[in-house]
Amino acid sequence: QVQLVESGGGLVQPGGSLKLSCATSGIDFSIHAMGWYRQAPGKQRELVAFITTGGSTTNGQSVKGRFTISRDNAKNTVYLQMNSLNTEDTAVYYCHAKYMYREYWGQGTQVTVSS
């Protein structure tokens, strides 16, 4: 059974930081490209950051210079370090895994940025 389990979300003040984790099981993690997406109320789901199997990364325009995606193949886990958070970063954050035509989603973790 494939599982992607996100953790690390919560409430943070503007300017603060959070680190999200996504622990996977049931897949060969090392061959999957991994990504973080987010969806705010009333908005479409958008790409936050993406990392290839080789470690190359791509960030969404709105988070460039603030968020960093990384992966640990030994732990089957992908991370999202989020710095300089602002209220527009409030959303449910989802972990995504993709290999060829197969893709999987986590259940999401809420991130709320508020004073």
pLDDT per position as a tens digit, 11-69: 999 999 999 999 999 999 999 999 999 999 999 999 999 999 999 999 999 999 999 99
C-alpha closest to that of 95 among 113, 80, 111? 80
Task: Using CB atoms within 10 Å of the CB of residue 4, give its burial: 0 to 12 exposed, 13 to 18 middle, 19+ buried.
Answer: buried
Torsion of CA 90, 88, 95, 106, to 10 degrees: 40
**Residue 100 and residue 103: Cα distance in Å, rounded?**
8
